[in-house]
């Protein structure tokens, strides 16, 4: 898979309760990592990685529709027709469920045979996507870190079903950070996910990681913007504007 070429210690400053998990999509089995010993849904595998040694999974290790999303098998008509979700009450009608499969993120067929998972403290590979579980304060810093030096916007994309596609696959094929909040996914609710509701799951793709980690090392990004109240905030803001107006008028 190649040696680790990045220093992930920048995430230590966030004081995350749960270790970030690196995910890598591979055509062949990795060396030095054992295959998972139990079947799981794709969406719960990052949580499993937080509790265990690094592992990899193959097609037979998934409990849900993940092989379809990973390009490991052909679409099953009962799924992509929307008939399953419509009859189960996930959507009002079959056509609504069918529409989701038109744009849900998917890997190209045959491009992925194995997926590796590891927390960053045990990771011996550079991940395709880093999945981070954070509270709102940590999430604010993480999302800010992406645009702190670039001005790029952040956004969240997802659907009520197949949260795994947006968590793992969308960031890789789009090159954009994505996030969701635990408790929104119907699938994770159905399997009684052990992760408490209301936490952010932020997925950072490999191409964005260097920018995020560089900015997390800047002390200013941890500065608190809380004031003694709304009036104090607006007075401070207006004072600063007046200072800048004076500077510009002196040009």
Question: pLDDT of 107-133, one tens digit each?
Answer: 999 999 999 999 999 999 999 999 999
pLDDT given for residue 237 in this prediction: 82
pLDDT tens per residue across span 8-38: 999 999 999 999 999 999 999 999 999 999 9
- Answer yes or no: is pLDDT of 5 > 70: no
Q: Is residue 232 part of a domain?
A: no
Pick the more confident residue, 178 or 65. 178
In a domain, 238, yes or no: no
Decide if 146 is inside a domain.
yes
Closest-CA residue to 58 (of 67, 49, 68, 46):
67
Residue 196 lies in a domain: yes
Q: How far is CA 33 from the centre of its chain?
A: 22
The pLDDT value recorded for residue 11 is 96
Q: What is the pLDDT of residue 76?
A: 80
pLDDT tens track for 137-149: 999 999 999 999 9
DSSP output for 78-120: HHHTSHHHHHHTSSSSHHHHHHHHHHS--PPTTS-SEEEEEET
Query: What pLDDT, on the 0 to 100 scale, is given for residue 13?
Result: 95
DSSP state of 62: B
What range defines the domain where residue 23 resides? 9-226
Domain count, the chain: 1
Q: Residue 43: inside a domain, yes or no?
A: yes
User: Does the structure show a pLDDT above 80 at 87?
Assistant: no
Decide if pLDDT at 86 tops 80: no
Q: How confident is the model at residue 192 (pLDDT cuts 50, 70, 90)?
A: low
pLDDT at position 250, please? Answer: 78
pLDDT digits (tens, 9 = 90+) for 167-183: 999 999 999 999 999 98
Whether residue 233 lies inside any domain: the answer is: no
Write out pLDDT tens, residues 30-41. 999 999 999 999
Q: How many CB atoms lie within 10 A of CB 40?
A: 17
Q: Does residue 3 form part of some domain?
A: no
Q: What is the pTM for the complete model shown?
A: 0.90
- 241 — pLDDT class (breaks 50, 70, 90): confident
| pLDDT tens-digit series, residues 153-172 | 999 999 988 899 999 999 99
- Residue 63: alpha-carbon gap to chain centroid: 20
Tell me if 249 is assigned to some domain.
no
């Amino acid at each position: 898979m190649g040696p680790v070429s990045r220093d992930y210690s920048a995430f230590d400053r966030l004081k995350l309760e749960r270790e970030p998990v690196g995910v890598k999509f591979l055509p062949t089995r990795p060396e030095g990592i054992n295959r998972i010993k139990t079947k799981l849904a794709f969406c719960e595998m990052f949580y499993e990685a937080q509790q265990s040694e690094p592992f990899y999974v193959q097609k037979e290790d998934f409990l849900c529709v993940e092989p379809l999303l990973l390009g490991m098998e052909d679409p099953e008509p009962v799924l992509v027709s929307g008939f399953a979700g419509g009859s189960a009450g996930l959507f009002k009608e079959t056509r609504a469920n069918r529409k989701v499969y038109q744009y849900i993120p998917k890997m190209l067929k045959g491009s992925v045979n194995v997926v590796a998972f590891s927390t960053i403290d045990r990771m011996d590979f550079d991940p395709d996507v880093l999945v981070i579980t954070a509270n709102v304060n940590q999430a604010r810093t993480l999302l800010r870190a992406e645009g702190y030096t670039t001005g790029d916007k952040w956004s969240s994309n997802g659907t009520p079903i197949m949260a795994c596609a947006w968590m793992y696959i969308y960031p890789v094929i789009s090159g954009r950070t994505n996030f969701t909040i635990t408790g929104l996914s119907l699938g994770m609710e159905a399997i009684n996910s052990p992760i408490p509701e209301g936490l952010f799951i932020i997925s950072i793709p490999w191409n964005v990681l260097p920018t995020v980690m560089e900015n997390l090392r800047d002390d200013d990004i941890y500065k608190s913007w809380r004031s003694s109240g709304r009036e104090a905030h607006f007075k401070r803001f207006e004072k600063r504007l007046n200072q800048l107006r004076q500077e510009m008028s002196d040009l």
